[in-house]
Amino acid sequence: MPSITINIIFWFISPIIILFASAFVTSLFSLKKRYGIKAPDIAVPFLFIAIHRLSYLVFKESLFPYFLITISLLGIGLAFFHAYFYEEIDYSRYAKMYWRSVFLFSMVTQFILIVLSLMLRF
């Protein structure tokens, strides 16, 4: 039975660390007041790295290319959603909705990888 190392524990708690660090940076530089940027907006690229590393630790293969394909399909779906319900695509609204949807999908993917890793280890 494989053991849990410090490296694996770090990648398990990385979403929490990333969110707290993003919230700290956002409040430190007043990014929400100046530009409307929230902590999840900053956390997304770091979650990409965490998904790559955790998937490699769990499956010995990176699932990041599949993740990129999935978020690309998410973008296409959101474009159709905007075109159908709003009858136009407002790019600023679309970009904000897409980026925050990618954040939610990244967090869900990260937690699924954590649960799968724990299931495979025990």
Using one digit for the tens of pLDDT, what is the confidence trace for 16-44?
A: 999 999 999 999 999 999 999 999 999 99
Contact yes or no for 39/17 (Cβ under 8 A): no
State how far Cα 2 lies from the chain centre: 27
- Sequence ranges of the domains in the chain: 6-121
SS3 29: coil
Q: What is the pLDDT of residue 2?
A: 60
Tokens (6 digits) for 39? 């902590």
C-alpha R_g of the chain: 17
Q: What is the pLDDT of residue 9?
A: 87
pTM: 0.90
Residue at 60: amino acid letter: K
42 closest CA partner among 20, 65, 12, 10: 20
| Integer Cα distance of 118 and 90 in angstroms | 42
Q: What is the pLDDT of residue 68?
A: 97
| Integer Cα distance of 10 and 94 in angstroms | 34
Q: What is the pLDDT of residue 72?
A: 97
Tell me the percentage of the chain whose pLDDT exceeds 90.
Answer: 77
